[in-house]
């Protein structure tokens, strides 16, 4: 395929960025989206030009670092995948593809397509832990009975990889889906109930301090989430927060 790429270039966090056009040819349909960018960068290096900076690590849909806005959609036109799992067969010969970093005040651009998502780390650090001793005194896994549907819901919430697609998809740049997933994965289990009251208050407070917007209730976050994190987690976090604040 021959494609026309329009890619955001920005030297650093303080410089002004712009869209730059890059024609690319010989793109195979079985290439992943990141492999296509690798081919482009190789050609730029061969011409003595600076390659495009973009984030990646596992390239298996696990780490969440390959956060790209592709034709206006977080991670591109496919569903339940990350950008590294997107294949070029989703595009046609002659297509124009616009590639940008995720846009949010709390996700400042570091360079080109790389953003700073440490705001998510700080939200987790504000309360995403349990004090129950889970090492040193090994006990049988069935010593604490947990309803299966609760365990399943906790596991579903824990699949969040913190990529930030929910923030990028939301017109208010809300981090409610991410934060609620991190709250839910603990609050659904008995081990997580010890700090439940403090956890939800601390994590919501940190989310607000980071500059994320409020939930829009439009559901774009769930649609664009590569792991299909449910909006039910937001409702659960709101209930947890209401109960925590009503206790004083």
Domain termination site, one of 111, 140, 167: 111
183 shares a domain with 98: no
**For the whole model, what pTM was predicted?**
0.93
Angle at 169 between CA 186 and CA 231, to 5 degrees: 35
Domain termination site, one of 80, 111, 142: 111
Q: How far is CA 1 from CA 69, 73, 240, in A?
A: 21, 21, 51
pLDDT tens digits, one per residue of 137-175: 666 666 778 899 999 999 999 999 999 999 999 999 999
Query: Which pairing describes strands 96-100 and 3-9: parallel, antiparallel, or unpaired?
Result: parallel
Angle at 22 between CA 16 and CA 26, to 5 degrees: 155
Domain termination site, one of 111, 140, 165: 111
pLDDT tens digits, one per residue of 85-138: 999 999 999 999 999 999 999 999 999 999 999 999 999 999 877 887 766 666
- Which range marks the domain in which residue 235 is found? 118-246
């Amino acid at each position: 395929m021959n494609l026309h790429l329009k890619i955001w270039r920005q030297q650093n966090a303080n410089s002004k960025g712009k869209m730059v056009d890059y024609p690319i040819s010989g793109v195979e349909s079985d290439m992943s989206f990141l492999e296509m960018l690798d081919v482009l960068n190789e050609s730029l290096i061969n011409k003595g030009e600076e390659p495009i900076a973009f984030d990646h690590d596992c390239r298996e849909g696990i780490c969440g670092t390959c956060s790209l806005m592709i034709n206006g959609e977080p991670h591109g036109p496919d569903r339940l995948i990350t950008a590294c799992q997107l294949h070029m067969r989703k595009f046609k010969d002659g297509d124009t593809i616009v590639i940008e970093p995720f846009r949010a005040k709390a996700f400042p651009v570091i360079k080109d397509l790389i953003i700073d998502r440490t705001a998510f780390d700080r939200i987790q650090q504000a309360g995403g832990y349990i004090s129950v001793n889970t090492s040193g005194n090994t006990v049988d896994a069935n010593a604490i009975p947990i309803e299966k549907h609760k365990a399943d819901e906790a596991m579903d919430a824990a699949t969040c990889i913190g990529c930030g697609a929910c923030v990028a998809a939301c017109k208010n740049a809300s981090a409610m889906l991410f934060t609620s997933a991190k709250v839910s994965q603990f609050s659904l289990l008995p081990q997580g109930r010890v700090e439940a009251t403090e956890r939800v208050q601390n994590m919501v407070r940190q989310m607000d301090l980071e500059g994320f917007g409020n939930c829009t209730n439009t559901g774009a976050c769930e649609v664009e989430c590569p792991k299909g994190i449910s909006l039910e987690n937001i409702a659960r976090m709101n209930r947890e927060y209401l109960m925590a604040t009503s206790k004083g």
